[in-house]
Amino acid sequence: LQVEGATTNSDKLRVLLGQLKRHHDGALDYVAAHAWARDITGRLRESLVRTEGQTGRHSDVLNAMLDHVTTCLAIIVSNAPASEQEAARLEDLLVRRGFALSEMLLRQATTSQASAYDPAVVQRHAAATLELAHTIHPPVSKGA
């Protein structure tokens, strides 16, 4: 088990127990939660770096997905809305992040070859989303 900032098993246990206590006490701010989320996805990140080094191929799609999941997990873990207004703010933040991911994927769909390990992955999964997007009509202005 690799734990950032810890070399011995005793150090690792101390770091992990500290993280667990902070999480239990609700003391994970966004920055700490983001570091924790990056830590638990570290093995995947390292394997992707290794794959890129061996093959010379890179996936903007997979890296953006991983960044999105890491950020959303950090947002969720670091929030505990105490009011409807705080819940609405959290909702707004997560919806904004979701649409930012959608925008990135749609940009990748503008060509037949996405920057991905499987260049057809975005095109293969975009059809239903594009169909739904075409059914949305902008709201009519009250003055019109």
What are the structural domain ranges in the chain? 9-135
- Would you say 117 and 123 are in contact if contact means Cβ atoms under 8 Å apart? no
Please determine, for residue 107, whether its predicted confidence score (pLDDT) is greater than 70: yes
pTM: 0.77
Q: Tell me: the pLDDT tens digits for 26-83?
A: 567 898 889 889 988 999 999 999 999 999 999 999 999 999 999 999 999 999 999 9
| 32 contacts: CB under 8 Å, gap ≥ 6 | 22, 78
Q: Which helix (H) or strand (E) holds 118?
A: none
Percent of the chain with pLDDT over 70: 92
Per-state percent for the chain, helix, strand, coil, to nearest 5: 70, 0, 30
Instruction: Quote the DSSP letter at residue 81.
Output: -
